[in-house]
Amino acid sequence: MGSLGALWTATSGLLAQSAAIQNISGNVANIQTPAFKRTDTAFDELVYRHQPAESVAWRSVLTNGEAGNVVPGTTSTDMAVAGEGYFTVTGPTGVGSTGQPTFSNSPTTYTRRGDFDLDKNGYLVNGAGNYLMGKQIDPVTKAMSATVQPLQFDMTTERPGLGVLKSISVGTAGQLQGTYSMGQTVDVASLPIATFRGQGFMTQGSGGTFTPTTKSGAAQYDGNGKAVGNFLETSNVDITQETTTMMQAQTAYSASSQVMTAAKEMMQTLTNLTI
């Protein structure tokens, strides 16, 4: 391999290992984030006809199919997904005149992060600011809404035969239940869990959310997964694995840097000889 080929190989190696270190840093930074899914880095050896030497290509590999551990939560609205699947969430696009969030044209995304809590407007919002969606159930008539929408609960109005809503929890069947001031606990929302035929092809967004793609297919609500209350899924990042991978990446980066330095010195020597 000549000096130009060595420089080409070393440059591609530096770029690949830089990407790996960036992914590892992001993983370690989110080790305490509920349900965070680490991003691994895959490397491919590339050989092109007009390329002076072999090079390395990298690509990020999502691990959203690998669940973290499930641990006890701290509130009745903490929840985890049992098995495969995702909570359906969205974000507000504005604030109305009454101070209520508005969701016009807000994109629907999916997450396994279940650290939900009731905000001042009665919405269930997780630690990343995503609003839980489901099918609202009228606690008096038992009628269920036809569409999946941001869930909002009235904590101030007295309902006939029930009183005022005091708390929200997750039932054994994965539904949301409300406990009222007169002592009754009734269903207040259905929580359909979304699954995808090709979940590995989803696009990762901020706050632990994922967006479906053509390859992943649209969300399916087939009833296979359910929410479990008073539990949280932890990050699937393994600090020991990340530390080992970081050391390997740093070593490879240093080696590529040394090769680049040597190649530059060789080229400088050749240039001096021709002058």
pLDDT at 127 over 70: yes
Residues in the chain: 275
Predicted pLDDT of residue 191: 95
Those residues whose C-beta lies under 8 Å from the C-beta of residue 267, and which sit 6 or more positions away, are 3, 4, 7
pLDDT tens for residues 151-172?
999 999 999 999 999 999 999 9
Tokens of residue 272, six digits? 């001096």
Residue percentage of the chain with pLDDT more than 70: 79
Return the half-sphere exposure (C-beta side, CA atoms, 13 A cut-off) of residue 27. 26
pLDDT for 132 beyond 60: yes
Of 25, 33, 22, 21, nearest to 236 by C-alpha is: 33
When the pLDDT of each residue in the chain is averaged and rounded to a whole number, the result is 85
Kindly report which listed range (85-99, 195-209, 261-275) carries the lowest average pLDDT score: 261-275
The whole-number pLDDT of residue 268 equals 67
Q: For residues 240 and 69, what is the distance between their CA atoms, to the nearest angstrom?
A: 16
Mean pLDDT of 55-78: 79
Which has more pLDDT, 128 or 99? Answer: 128
- Condensed to tens digits (0 to 9), the pLDDT of residues 27-38 reads 899 999 999 998
In the predicted model, what is the mean pLDDT of residues 51-75? 72
Quick one: DSSP state of residue 152?
Answer: B
The number of angstroms, rounded, from the C-alpha of 13 to the middle of its chain's C-alpha atoms is: 28
Cα 194 to Cα 21, 49, 87: the distances in Å are: 32, 45, 6
**What confidence category does residue 273 fall into, taking pLDDT thresholds of 50, 70 and 90?**
low
**What is the pTM assigned to this prediction?**
0.81
For residues 95-114, one letter each, b for 16 or more C-beta atoms within 10 angstroms of the residue's C-beta and e for the rest, the string is eeeeeebebeebebbbbbbb
What does the pLDDT read at residue 247?
84
* Residue 101, token pair as written in the block: 């969030």
Q: Kindly indicate the confidence band of residue 274, based on its pLDDT and cuts at 50, 70 and 90.
A: low
Question: Strand, coil or helix: what is 174?
Answer: coil
Cα–Cα distance list, 67 to 33, 54, 83, 218 (Å)? 13, 37, 8, 21
| Cα 235 to Cα 246: distance, rounded to the nearest angstrom | 18
> Tell me, what's the pLDDT at 49?
45
Alpha-carbon distances of 114 from 36, 131, 257, rounded to whole Å: 11, 11, 43
